[in-house]
Chain A
Amino acid sequence: MTTTEVRGGGLAGAVAAEWTKFWSVRATWWCLIAGAALMLGYSTLSGIAQRFDDDPQAANTIALGGGFYLTQFAVIALATLFVTSEYAGGIRSTLLWTPVRERVVPAKAAILLPVLFAYGAVLSGAGMALSGAVKDGHGLPTTLEAGFTTASGMAGYFALLGLLCTGVGWALRSAAGTLVTVIVLLVPLPLIVASLGLPELVSYFPGIAGVNAMVEAGQPNPITMAPAPYAPWAGLLICAAWAAAALVTGAAVLRRRDA
């Protein structure tokens, strides 16, 4: 009752609280460190392989592979746990602090968006630098434009992938359910859709669209071996649409359910 008037609260308060929560659990650090180690390990091994391989690759393609095959799973785990760990009990505290539930969903998104964007940019840069140094002139050269496209694409993809996971997490309220849903959406589902005779749809799934965002226009996507039917920025737009749909669904579930 005697608290001196301090500003804050509302959405800004919710974001500030989520920032503290994000950095104060070990899972955050483990996921970030594991993702980085996977990227650096993959870049080193792939760089070494380029010295002997007959399948020449550029450094940015190697970094892309490290991001898509390995590091993205650390990103998925990080973003999923950020939401689903609430359902181990903390959600009641979170909603006591921020009873306007519409604020909780964007508050978590506001933390992940910049953190994962920076993480993707830094790791793709590190992966390119490391693999470039290790392969030492073997394989294919990387142009500045190609390197920039991969770095900006991975930054945007990781950020939007994180938001997709939080949206699914809010909707399903379980870590296992969220991980399975997101991973199926990224890899097996596009393959199934393609085998059912709709290969043109593959480019519109979030994982493939994210990789398309990392490849220069007209160049083949190293996962599907086909060039994207749209520009790299459009790949991020597709990822953003998936993330937005998941967040809206998740927010609707959170608003309606008892905690």
Chain B
Amino acid sequence: MITLRELTKRYGEKTVVDALTCDVASGQVTGFLGPNGAGKSTTMRMTVGLDHPQAGEVLVGGRRYAELRHPLREVGALLDAKALHPGRSAGKHLTAMARSNGIAISRVEEVLATVGLSDVAGKRAGQFSLGMGQRLGIAGALLGDPGTLMFDEPVNGLDPDGVRWVRQLMRSLATEGRTVFVSSHLMSEMQLTADHLIVIGKGKLLADAPVAEFIAGNSRTTVAVRVPADGERSKLDERLRAEGGLTHPGEPDELVVDGVDVTRVGDLVHELGIRVHGLAERTASLEQAYMELTASSVEYGVSA
């Protein structure tokens, strides 16, 4: 269980995390979503005491991270796979880590086997590929067998097999009753992994809901109708607006309608005696819902 209360981080004039209040519950995978620069990594760094908040607090199991006697046995975090000495071997890195928190040294071999790095335990970490580095970071997070796990963009640099493996790992960790908090800027990834979503933009909380509820609340259905004749199309457009629908042009010859359902659009077409080449219902993907939700809060957006 991770508890954020009015958590705030400013760098000079810029507020990166803005009075963030939410809970990350145990026994499920909580996806932490937001565009690049939304404040996800900063929030995670504050959770483990690497960054100091200006206001508010973040607690793990009711206590500040720095107050934990053996932090690695309670919280496992993969924040930055490059956060290690490139000249030290993977095995020695994990051995030092285990010693720091009084974790049995036998765990080092166990977690290396879990992430599939047993054969390269003696290899210097700086020579690891991005994917291997990511696996080593995950091994470190698992080392102390903690009840809370945090992963910042864990699938970066992994091949498709690795991505599937991480998904399964996170699901099984949650099934064991642990708190699993995973950040991503990809909705599609979270759709496959998470039970619950916390969405932030420009440091502010935008949504905090179960995935199913988020989908239901944010996806919209539109109707696309193709009318080849320009005059007929504008006639239909006029009529749909009168019905309370919002319309905008889609593909060439196409009209996209929001707020009038597909049967009604069909009836209106028939009533007006218009020649139609296509009539289809379109459900916005979760990805689109997420894009719309965060559209106004994109930090490094490209102006259209």
Contact = CB atoms under 8 A, between A and B. Distances in A.
Interface of A: 1-4, 6-10, 13-14, 16-21, 24-27, 85-86, 88-93, 95-100, 256, 258-259
Contact of B103 (A6, A93, A100): A6
- Chain A binding surface SS class: helix
Given A1-B146, A7-B102, A93-B84, A99 B79 contact: no
Contact of A26 (B68, B87, B99, B177): B87
B281 interface: no
- Chain B binding surface SS class: loop
B87 A8 contact: no
B112 to A, nearest CB: 15
A259 B79 CA distance: 12
B280 interface: no
A89 B81 CA distance: 9
Contacts of A2: 145
A14 B84 CA distance: 16
B71 interface: yes
Given A1-B177, A13-B99, A25-B87, 10 more contacts: A3-B73, A3-B144, A17-B99, A21-B96, A24-B89, A92-B50, A96-B72, A97-B71, A99-B71, A258-B52
Contacts of A21: 85, 88, 92, 96
Interface residues of B, number: 45
Given A259-B50, A259-B51, A97 B72 contact: yes
Contacts of B99: 8, 13, 16-17, 19-20
A95 B50 contact: yes
A87 to B, nearest CB: 11
Nearest to A27: B87
B88 A96 contact: no
Contacts, number: 116
B100 interface: yes
B51 A96 contact: no
List the 5 closest A-B pairs by CB distance, nearest first: A8-B102, A17-B100, A24-B92, A92-B83, A97-B100
Nearest to A2: B145
B209 interface: no
Contacts of A17: 96-97, 99-100
Q: Which of B70, B82, B146, B177 lies at the interface centre, i.e. has the most chain A CB atoms within 10 A of its CB?
A: B70
B130 interface: no
A86 B88 CA distance: 12
B107 to A, nearest CB: 8
Q: Which of A20, A25, A100 lies at the interface centre, i.e. has the most chain B CB atoms within 10 A of its CB?
A: A20
B69 A24 contact: no
A99 to B, nearest CB: 4
Given A13-B102, A25-B88, A97-B101, A258 B51 contact: yes
A13 B97 CA distance: 9
A19 B98 CA distance: 12
Contacts of B144: 3
A57 to B, nearest CB: 40
B145 A97 contact: no
B109 interface: no
B100 A98 contact: yes
Contact of B85 (A88, A99, A256): A88
B70 A9 contact: yes
Nearest to A259: B50
A10 to B, nearest CB: 7
B86 interface: yes
Contacts of A4: 104
7 contacts: A14-B100, A16-B99, A20-B95, A89-B82, A95-B49, A95-B50, A99-B71
B102 A89 contact: no
